[in-house]
């Protein structure tokens, strides 16, 4: 059973008189434990696809199954529950609460599923330790470097032990050295059994994954497997 499966999903936006087809019948399936990159140039529809996979949005038509559950017709609140329990997001711009400490930022998803305070704090500390920020828990985002902020975001994504970690250009706002550190962290998380999808437009980033879905003009153009040989050549075989 695949973790996620889409069948012919379309996403159409109406902008005044013009109709834009952001996705034109995407069918894909991703298994538990996979490490997949979704790659494509800007405007290809990869962000739209990521929003749909992340249950931030619903398709105009087609079917989307998450753990065999039909997600395409769920209400806002049902989607919120899936996002809370099953999906951890990592964004290009980090999207942390600026006034909250690292610890509190990581606790946020737990607040919304009613985890009691002590338990919440314990889980958040554990997640921050996984991303090596055990000594920065009470720092606010503006007291942290870009790489540290992204690691707080990753800890927040991990804290609920989700079925899927979904990262949208996670290195886009980081310098190459810090970006490398973040990608190494993702590789480690994958080895520890997490399912990861990374959306990127950079080939170097994509080759950390085992599989690359190339999106072009709203469709899956190519489903490429990254060989160990290629990873070794790129230095992404971690």
| Residue of 57, 60, 68 lying closest to 24 (CA atoms) | 60
Q: Pick one of 81, 163, 202, 211: the residue that binds other proteins (CB under 8 A).
A: 81
Q: Minimum Å distance from CB 13 to other proteins?
A: 11
- If one asks whether residue 54 binds other proteins (CB under 8 A), the answer comes out as yes
Kindly report the number of other CB atoms within 10 A of residue 237's CB atom: 15
Give the list of residues 6+ apart from residue 18 with CB closer than 8 angstroms, or none: none
Q: Minimum Å distance from CB 91 to other proteins?
A: 7
Q: Find the length of the chain.
A: 238
Beta bridge partners of 69: 66
Nearer to other proteins, 65 or 91 (CB): 91
- If one asks whether residue 66 binds other proteins (CB under 8 A), the answer comes out as no
Kindly provide the residue ranges of all beta strands, DSSP E only, lying in 140-228, ordered along the sequence.
Answer: 164-168, 196-200, 211-216, 219-225
Q: Pick one of 22, 30, 36, 51: the residue that binds other proteins (CB under 8 A).
A: 51
- If one asks whether residue 114 binds other proteins (CB under 8 A), the answer comes out as yes
Pairing outcome for strands 87-90 and 211-216: unpaired
Stretch of 22-30, 50-58, 60-68, 181-189 contacting other proteins, by CB under 8 A:
50-58
Distance from the Cα of residue 82 to its chain's centroid: 14
- Residues within the interface to other proteins (CB under 8 A): 51, 54, 56-57, 76-77, 80-81, 83-85, 89, 91, 95-97, 99, 108-109, 111-114, 156
């Amino acid at each position: 059973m695949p973790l996620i499966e889409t069948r012919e999903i379309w996403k159409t936006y109406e902008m005044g008189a013009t109709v834009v087809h952001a996705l034109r019948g995407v069918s894909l399936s991703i298994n538990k434990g996979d490490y997949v990159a979704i790659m494509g140039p800007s405007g290809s529809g990869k962000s739209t696809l990521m929003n749909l996979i992340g249950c931030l949005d619903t398709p105009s038509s087609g079917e989307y199954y998450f753990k065999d559950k039909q997600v395409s017709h769920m209400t806002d609140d049902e989607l919120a529950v899936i996002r809370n329990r099953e999906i951890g997001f990592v964004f290009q711009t980090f999207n942390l609460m600026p006034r909250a400490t690292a610890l509190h930022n990581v606790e946020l998803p737990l607040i919304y599923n009613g985890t009691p305070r002590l338990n919440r704090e314990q889980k958040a500390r554990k997640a921050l330790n996984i991303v090596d920020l055990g000594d920065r828990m009470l720092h606010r985002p503006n007291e942290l470097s870009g790489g540290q902020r992204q690691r707080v975001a990753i800890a927040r994504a991990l804290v609920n032990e989700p079925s899927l970690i979904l990262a949208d250009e996670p290195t886009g706002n980081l310098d190459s050295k810090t970006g490398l550190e973040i990608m190494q962290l993702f590789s480690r998380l994958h080895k520890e059994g997490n399912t990861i999808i990374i959306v990127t437009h950079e080939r170097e980033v994509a080759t950390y994954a085992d599989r690359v879905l190339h999106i072009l003009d709203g469709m899956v153009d190519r489903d490429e497997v990254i060989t160990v040989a290629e990873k070794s050549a790129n230095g992404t075989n971690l």
